[in-house]
Amino acid sequence: MKTVIPYKKTCAKSRLSPVLSQEEREEFVELMLNQVIDILLEAGIKTIDILSPSIYGLENMSKANVLLDKSDLNEALNRYLEKAEEPVLIVMADLPLLSPKHVKEITSTKKDICIVPGKGGGTNALFINNPSNYRVRYYGSSFLTHCSIVVDSGQNFEIYDSFFAGIDIDEPEDLVELLIHGKGPAKDYINRRFNLEVSRGRVGLIPL
């Protein structure tokens, strides 16, 4: 089994631009990536590949293999799956609430595919036992799409239902969940920049 993490540092996380500068966003995504890698290593994953269109931010990466592919995300991942000769776990790089326990449970599925839904219809992780028989299609409502692809390919699947594994960091309100539930370098980075606003009905962010 091996894991692949799609990653791009250049101009990352534009939807966080109302609260973080470009430099801060790029620092933040690098912290999240490294935290996800550490979680995978702690879960016992031996082979970790980072699939990126650029070496930027990965020049000194020693904990994982760096694979460069300038293609569209889906094209790059599907090319990766075509060549895979063992089960593959696809994990997004912006999951700072993911834990080794989640990884072990996801990869121990008895089904052909395990799908981890994200917020708003996205897909945060996919464990694929037979990667040569599956193709991904991210963007849009990718969770529903990935479920349909499994059915159309004659395979079966399991949905891994987890609040923490389902939190990917895209919008400012996602940082609230990180501050409330997170730990590690990603939370520490945001904690140095924001406090929680708890005086009104819904918790928000207050810049320091």
* Residue 200 placed within a domain: no
* Residue 80 placed within a domain: yes
123-182 pLDDT per residue, tens? 999 999 999 999 999 999 999 999 999 999 999 999 999 999 999 999 999 999 999 999
* Residue 73 placed within a domain: yes
Rounded distance, CA 11 to CA 21, Å? 10
Rounded distance, CA 127 to CA 88, Å? 6
* Residue 189 placed within a domain: no
* Residue 133 placed within a domain: yes
- CATH value at residue 57: 3.90.550.10
Predicted TM-score (pTM) of this structure: 0.96
Banded model confidence at residue 204, pLDDT cuts 50, 70, 90: confident
> 24: part of which helix (H) or strand (E)?
helix 22-42
Rounded distance, CA 60 to CA 98, Å? 24
* Residue 139 placed within a domain: yes
Contact 174, 132 (CB under 8 A): no
* Residue 16 placed within a domain: yes
Domain with 114 in it: 2-169
Who's near 185: CB < 8 A, 6+ residues apart? 31, 34, 35
Contact 147, 136 (CB under 8 A): no
